[in-house]
Amino acid sequence: MKTRLGWKGPGLLCLVLWSGTACAAGPPGADRADPAPDAVTQLARLIDSRIDAGLAAGKIEASPPADDAEFVRRVYLDLGGRIPRVAEARAFFEDRRSDKRARLVEKLLHGPNYVNHFTNVWRALLLPNNNNNQVQVLANQLETWARARLQNNVPYDRMVYELMTAEIGNRGGLQPPGLRRAFEPGAAAFYQVNESKADNLSASTSRLFLGVKIECAQCHDHPFARWTRKQFWEYTAFFAGIRPQNPQAGIFSGITEDVKVREAVMPGSEKKIKARFLDGKAPTWTDNDVPRKVLADWMIARGNPFFARTAANRMWEHLFGIGLVDPSDDFREENPASHPELLDELANALVAQKYDMRFLIRAITASKAYQRTSAYTHPSQKDELRSFARMPLKGLTPEQVWESLATAVGYKGPSLPQGMAFTPVNAGGVRQEFLVKFANPVDRRTEQQISILQALSLMNGRFMTDATSRQRSETLAAVLDAPFMDLRQKLDTLYLAALSRPMRSSESHRLVPFVRDGGPSRDPNRALADVFWVLLNSSEFIFNH
């Protein structure tokens, strides 16, 4: 396929063919100090020892370290949800300190983009791949809830505990008649999008927080794992007292909960199944126990065999595109971890650091495994994605695509009230179109592909037309009007803006004469805009590598 320039841009052919409320006071641990660097270094070395041992056993040769350009782009996308600005990339390249990569990670972890990005990550986790407008209204509430906790560095276990025990509406049972509990719109939205149904909540919470697809045993014993139908309904019994207040209102119905209910009725029978944990143990009840709180206490307890391992695996999956257990919500003996000892060690470290996810990020990003290039450098790496001999290519999320494009072209866009996040509901215009068009319902980002519709949107959409217009693109206008830059420097700046790296010599040999001669239009400025268009449409731009 020919591009607008008449030649294949970097990876463009592949692109087309790969067709607010705040916490008044955070939960315990929210204000704790950052861990000592020694703990981060020790865990990073442990990661590498386990990965390297696996490579040696499989006779697989590791790729070399990523260069600064590859690393800076990768870590900005992983931790901040966007590519670096030109000035940010240049500052990193010019930094001569030996620990500059760790310093950059620290800067990102304490910056606003980290909160924004992981707010999107939480929302996508709790409400995956759903562009229903009604659901997106609740998504905004969940984002507000998550944002407040990420800003306070609330530990992961406390966030899950808050979600599991949220005030969701009217309570019956043990409370005085007519007493209305406070409604938490953010966390309660999770219950509403699950239609306030016990079986939906059972399936969601076990999959998200315990890595168990127990819903496969809802109607019959699990066909591939040890889970039985009885176990599904034992776990579901912890939510059995929850009901929609007005079923006709759909997901916007109010919620009622009878905290006396501690058993579920198995469909197709009159058999009542008492609540029991997934490890087979029965809770010891007292009269005032709330079932969801009892379940949450067990879930985040230090000895829980599922919770910490699932949390550690999800962070590994976020940073590498694929988990040590894959899929990340399918922990079972028949689907073992690629590096089981490492998974246990990551989980133990996370517990020791009181579920500080930023600690885990520091350690993983400091490892040689994370800092390897994504380039295929040896035949032994073929079909060895889970060996982590090289960094897997990761498709960008819809938010990463938008934020990176906006960063590259200098787009400012409409503003929203402070504390309100952009969503398809409130953003409007071109951003809404992007988030909807680039919603890819895939379980694994390493398998994400670009559809023809998405490729055409990038090539010919309204935003891309403006982005490569001298009149409307801040980046392009600044480059074209810079009297202190020669042609090579202007091209380098566009490469930095789009791909976070300077031109390679092979690219320079083609592009400098092309732009100098003005391309097909014989207009150097138009030719420079054409180059920018190709870069923004390249597969190098649309993937994290």
Instruction: Count Cα atoms within 13 angstroms, Cβ side, for 511.
Output: 27
pLDDT at res. 21: 32
User: Residue 399 carries which side chain, given as an amino acid letter?
Assistant: E
In the chain, what is the straight-line distance between the N-terminal and C-terminal CA atoms, in Å?
24
- The predicted pLDDT at position 228 comes to 86
As given in the structure block, the two tokens for residue 161 are 């505990």
Interhelix angle 198-210/156-164, rounded to 10 degrees, is: 170
One pLDDT digit (tens) per residue for the chain, 545 residues: 333 333 333 333 232 222 233 333 334 444 456 666 799 999 999 999 999 999 999 999 999 999 999 999 999 999 999 999 999 999 999 999 999 999 999 999 999 999 999 999 998 888 865 556 667 778 888 888 999 999 999 999 999 999 999 888 655 443 433 333 445 667 888 898 888 899 999 999 999 999 998 877 667 666 666 778 888 899 999 999 998 888 777 777 778 888 899 999 988 777 899 999 999 999 999 888 999 999 999 999 998 999 999 999 999 999 999 999 998 988 988 889 999 999 999 999 999 999 999 999 999 999 999 999 999 999 999 877 899 999 999 988 888 988 998 899 888 765 433 444 434 344 445 666 666 666 665 566 555 555 545 555 565 566 667 767 777 788 988 999 888 899 999 999 999 999 999 999 999 999 999 999 998 999 999 999 989 988 998 889 989 99
Whole-number pLDDT of residue 269 = 79
- Cβ neighbour number for residue 462 with a 10 Å cutoff: 11
Q: Give 21's strand partners.
A: none
The pLDDT value given to residue 255: 86
SS3 65: strand
Q: What is the pLDDT of residue 222?
A: 61
Helices (H), ranges, 211-252: 229-236
As separate numbers, helices (DSSP H) first and strands (DSSP E) second, the chain gives: 24, 7
- Given a contact cutoff of 8 angstroms between Cβ atoms, the answer to whether 166 and 184 are in contact is yes
Q: How far apart are CA 93 and CA 399, in angstroms?
A: 26
Q: What is the pLDDT of residue 345?
A: 97
Give the separation between CA 256 and CA 250, rounded to whole angstroms: 14
**What pTM does this model have?**
0.86
